[in-house]
Amino acid sequence: MFMWIIKRDLLLAMRRQSDVLTTLFFFIIVVSLFPLSVGPEMNMLRTMAPGVVWVAALLASMLSLGRMFSNDYLDGTLEQMLLSPQSLSLLVLGKALAHWLVTGVPLVLMAPVLGIQYDLPVEALFVLTTALLLGTPVLSLIGAIGAALTLGLRGGGVLVSLLVLPLYIPVLIFGAGAVEANMAGVGFDAHLSLIGAFLLVSLVFAPWAAASSLRISLE
């Protein structure tokens, strides 16, 4: 059932490629506009690059949170999942993983290419990619909780942003901090370890919290 959920969501995403491309193009446009607006000062670009890339990735991932459960809610699939003998937490984990594969992985793959615009060294690009690889699944898992809480509500897109944005801030701080620490010549392992800890905690608690929120929203 877990694999079926992932395959189904990936298939639906391929049928709605415009939604996937919207998230990716938003990320590319936001990251690419900053060098044009700031100017060719390389030291300034290197300093601001980690924060710009992470903020753009955070905002891009939030664009698709409202669609994580809404389509299943409208066509009745979500109710069938609730009636299924399978664990709802496991099904939610599958949907969050599919969301990350569709939205998070393209951002991780594009980040090193876009980082070249900011004259980041190769090692800093590697740290940036690693931090995004660890941090973007946390964004999808936490976002699943917000999407479940606002399911079926009018103006849910704004509400989900207000709910999940404060929870995203630690990931943003330590993700950008890892790259800044690398460029400053100090250890960045602690930053990556903390993001990994956030990922483990999210894997344990986020599916359960999102499943409970779905039951409340559908009552």
Please count the CA atoms within 13 angstroms of the CA of 71 that sit on its side-chain side.
11
Please give the pLDDT value at position 155.
61
Contact criterion met (CB below 8 Å) for 67 and 9 = no
Least confident of 12-26, 63-77, 192-206: 63-77
For residue 150, CA distances in Å to 95, 114, 160, 178, 186 come to 16, 33, 6, 33, 42
Q: Which band of pLDDT confidence, cut at 50, 70 and 90, is reported for residue 215?
A: confident
Percent of the chain with pLDDT over 70: 97
Is the pLDDT score of 217 beyond 80? no
Please give the pLDDT value at position 150.
83
Please give the pLDDT value at position 128.
92
Please give the pLDDT value at position 168.
92
The model's pTM is: 0.88
Is the pLDDT score of 140 beyond 80? yes
Number of domains the chain contains? 1
What is the rounded CA–CA span in Å between residue 131 and residue 124? 10
Question: Domain of 193?
Answer: 2-218
Is the pLDDT score of 183 beyond 80? yes
Residue holding tokens 């940036």?
128
pLDDT in tens, 74-111: 777 777 877 777 888 888 898 899 999 999 999 999 99
pLDDT in tens, 144-162: 998 888 886 766 667 787 8
Mean pLDDT of 174-203: 91
Contact criterion met (CB below 8 Å) for 170 and 198 = yes
Mean pLDDT of 178-193: 89
For residue 166, CA distances in Å to 151, 170, 178, 219 come to 19, 8, 20, 27
